[in-house]
Each structure stands twice: as structure tokens, then as C-alpha cells.
Structure 1
């Protein structure tokens, strides 16, 4: 078996599998089901090996049994207390027992508790700075021009960035002042936030033209936001399709039709 035949077999297998999985867009068929089972089987086998190699072995087995020093890795002492994690984890399989299935909730509770505490910390570290950054003033606090100063200049008919003291002074001016353009952006943000937030107030009925108008404006802003998210999702799916089509045209066609 020469290298060219191996390349043709490998790339053609990928193309057949891809077309089989995309055939579900036409209708349900056995061709799709076959490759779906193949894909799930490969994914399950890969997950088992990856779980042991990347998680259980370094995070549990090595810490429990210890490891001798090598040329690249230092010695790791063993702690038998990690052996207690095995029976706790095995309790999850009691979910298949009608008599003892309640014990399967113990490892699930431990995992969810640890995960919840970790997610709270991650959430605050991720969104906390954004919450602080969103608290921006709306009214401009400067007598400077209404627009942000330029950071480029025209020299000899060519546009070049400012440098030296001119750039430093411009950056300091921008950071120390709130310009009308930024104030307008902040106002739009605050108005959108408050109106969208009012849409989820169910404690009392919103009456009057002002409150109902704000509520309706918030609903429209939510629709625009969700529409933008949906559009981004569709574009991401098209990007995947384009990538697969590129695989057929640029790789498969080059190897199979053009002989490599």
C-alpha cells in the first residue's frame, strides 16, 4: 500500500462520513444512522481513553500511588486518602438499582456542590469587571470638542499615527474626559438596559403611556439582541459548511482527482 493510496482512502473516508451526516438535512435515512452510530462509538471510545489519560491517571492514580522521579518529571508522593474517591464515584452506578438508587445522589451532590462554588467564582471574575465598566457617566464633563481627538495626522499627504508628546497628550485627553460621542453611547446603553430590565418586572402591572412605552421599547431591544445572536449562530453554521466544502474542493479533489 503506497502513500498515495493511503491518502486517498483517508480523505475519501472523511468525505463519505461528512456527506452521510449532512444527509439528515434531506430526510431520515439508514446511511445517516450508520455513520451516526460510528461517530458516537468513536466518540465514546475516545472519551474513555481521554478521561483516563488526561484526568483519572494524573489527577487520581498518580496522586494515590505516587510516582518515581524521571528525567523530565519530579517524584510525586502517594496519598492513599485519594482511594476514598473511588467508592464515592462508584456510587453513581447504583442509579441502576431500584433498592439503592438513592445512594447515586451522593456523588452527584458532591460534584454539583463543588461545581456551583467554582462557577460562582468564575462568574464574578468574568462578569464583575464588566459590571463595573458598565457604570459610566452619561453627561459630558469636558469643554473640549464634542468628538474624540484624532490619534493620526497627515504628513506629506500620508496618514501617520501621532507619536511622542502629541500622542501622549491626546491619550491623556481622551482618558481624562468624557466626550459627547461617548456620552451618547453610554446613554443608549443605559436606556437599553433599563427598558429591557423593565420587561421582566412582573410584581405589578405597568400602566400609563410612559411605563408601557418603556416596556415595549425593551421588548424591541430584546428582539434585536436575540436576532443578532441568532444571526451570529447562523453565520457560525455557514462557516462550518464552508470549511467542509473547502475540505472537499481543496483537499479531496486535489488528492483524488489531480493525483496529489
Structure 2
């Protein structure tokens, strides 16, 4: 079967003009006020064709020094070394696939109301930020106690305060992440970007950019905090 040639990749036009830098504070990518992902903008500048696509006339370019590529036919071509990626990242890739399949196969739940943000400061004398609480400590605690915590995303749950974690409908852990992720969760959708980055050159560049744009917005305000533009 003939393989398609990918000689170059022109920049994709986007429906909006927000620069990538708007998503990257100094510490990494952010889902709002606080960093969520540690990946730097350079991740988006290094385009990959994805598995099975031969890049002709690429062996004399800087791409030849990138990890994850091997020589291919016709001479002078490069292709993503899918076999090596699977050998070195096999467990990681299997875990990603397990999480994504279980998430896609589960009915969405929309009743959490973003209460994870409130649970992260519940009964805390030292919140992990310096922003004022919109309702103050007592008012914030009252909101948490008036609602059932229904978080299904471990990377939000793990930041719950010690008093908030037992109030969640179910305890969550990294080991059981695939058992709880569900497609109605904002963060599960944002994590598509994380999974695409972790899969490395196996993921086509256009798909990586799609997951990036999905991850960076729009996002709800951190409901318990008072945020103002500088």
C-alpha cells in the first residue's frame, strides 16, 4: 500500500485569535487560575504526522535527531517508530486507552456543580492560594455542607481538604481512576490534551492542537474565589 507523502505542514487557521501563550503561565498550562499541566509551549511547536505516515526527504532535517523516528522507504524518509513507542510506553499507553474507553462508555453525569473548587478550601485554615473566599470561610463551609460532593475526577479530588474528602459520594484513587471517569466531567475532557502529549509522536499534530484548544476553554470561574482582572 502506498504511503502518503507529508512534505510540510502549514499552520492551521483557527476560528479565534487567542495565542497559545494565553494558556501557559510561567509554571505550565493552566485550566484557570492555577496550573494544571506542566507542558511547555514547545510541545505544540513540534509537529508529528502520527503513526504510519512517511515523511519523505526528512532525513536531512533536524527531525532526524528527534526521539521516536526511524529511517523508512523511500531512502531519505522518516517515519514514527511506533514499535519503539509501544515498547517503551506500553504500560502508559494501555492505561490511557483503558481510561478513555471507560470514560466514553459511561453515561455522563452533570450534577457535580463544580463543587470540587469549594471542597479544596473546605474547613481550611491555610488554603493553597492567597485569593479571598467570596463568601468567607464560614459561608464557604456552609455551601459544601448543603450539597453532596459528587466528584468523579481523581486529579480534582486529590486536592480536597482532609475534611472534604470523606464527604465525596465515593472515595477516588489513581488506581481506580478508570472506574470513575465519565464524559460529563470538564476535567476528563481537558485531560484529552494530557493524554495526547503523553502519547508523544504517535498522535498527529492536528489532533494534539484540537485537544489543546478544547482544554483551554471556556472554563467556569472558581466559584468559591473572588477573581478580578488586573
TM over 0.5: no
TM range (shorter): under 0.3
Higher relative CO (CA 8 A, sep ≥ 6), structure 1 or 2?
Answer: 2
User: Which TM-score applies when normalising by structure 2?
Assistant: 0.20
User: Which TM-score applies when normalising by structure 1?
Assistant: 0.18
